[in-house]
Amino acid sequence: MSDLEAHRRTRLLNHTTRRVALTEAGERYCTLEQILAYVDQAEAEAGDTTARPSGKLKVHSMTSFGQHYVVPMISRYQQRHPAVQVDLTLAHRLPDLLDEGYDVSIVLASELPDSGLVSARLGTIFSIACASPEYIEKHGAPQYCPIWCGTPVCN
């Protein structure tokens, strides 16, 4: 203890033959030690998270794409990382990632609105809308959806 007090250049303990008590500097030093221990613990946990993913991952995907591609991928991902709980929402609308708390959104779009969020093109898909002449005569020709991807959808 005397070496620590010499290093700190202050008295940390008051002691008598019957009692030992922290000085004011000793109390501050103990608080500082606790804070440093919390920082060490937080750094260790943050480092461990990248090595072994865990926690909750909130994912959004367009419905049909999600059912066909995302659900099987999530299943494989959870086999590799069982400590990750995936909360998947399948919907045709673009969610507000920040307001709705999504970590990831997989969308089918020719372009995204400028939001300041990070995005990456994962690939390109093509689709064709087909209808019989009778259907078109009764319901009209398919129109392009301006909301999400420019893919033809029926009226």
My answer on whether 35 and 62 are in the same domain is no
My answer on whether 76 and 62 are in the same domain is yes
My answer on whether 60 and 107 are in the same domain is yes
My answer on whether 62 and 34 are in the same domain is no
My answer on whether 78 and 135 are in the same domain is no
Q: Which of 95, 84, 93, 90 is nearest to 68 (CA)?
A: 90
My answer on whether 43 and 14 are in the same domain is yes
pLDDT above 70 as % of the chain: 81
Boundary (domain end) residue, out of 50, 65, 84: 50
**Residue 58: which domain range?**
53-119
My answer on whether 45 and 82 are in the same domain is no
**Number of folded domains in the chain?**
3
My answer on whether 43 and 62 are in the same domain is no
CB 143 within 8 A of CB 155: yes
Regarding predicted confidence, which is higher, 131 or 22?
Answer: 131
Q: What is the pLDDT of residue 153?
A: 52
pLDDT above 90 as % of the chain: 22
- Residue the block writes with tokens 């419905």: 63
**pLDDT surpasses 70 at 61:** yes
My answer on whether 100 and 111 are in the same domain is yes
Query: For the segment 115-154, what is each residue's pLDDT rounded down to a tens digit?
Result: 778 888 888 777 677 788 998 899 887 766 544 444 455 4
My answer on whether 111 and 129 are in the same domain is no
**Exposed e or buried b per residue across 53-76, where buried means at least 16 C-beta atoms within 10 angstroms of its C-beta:** eeeebbbbbbeebbeeebeeebee
Q: Which of 67, 127, 118 is nearest to 97 (CA)?
A: 118
The CA radius of gyration of the chain, in Å to the nearest whole number, is 29
Q: What is the pLDDT of residue 70?
A: 92
My answer on whether 57 and 97 are in the same domain is yes
Q: Is 92 helix (H, G, I), strand (E, B) or coil?
A: coil
My answer on whether 10 and 46 are in the same domain is yes
Residue 57 CA: distances (Å) to CA of 46, 60, 78, 87, 101: 16, 10, 11, 6, 10
Beta pairing class for 55-61 and 84-90: parallel
Query: For the segment 97-109, what is each residue's pLDDT rounded down to a tens digit?
Result: 888 999 999 888 7
CATH at residue 94: 3.40.190.10
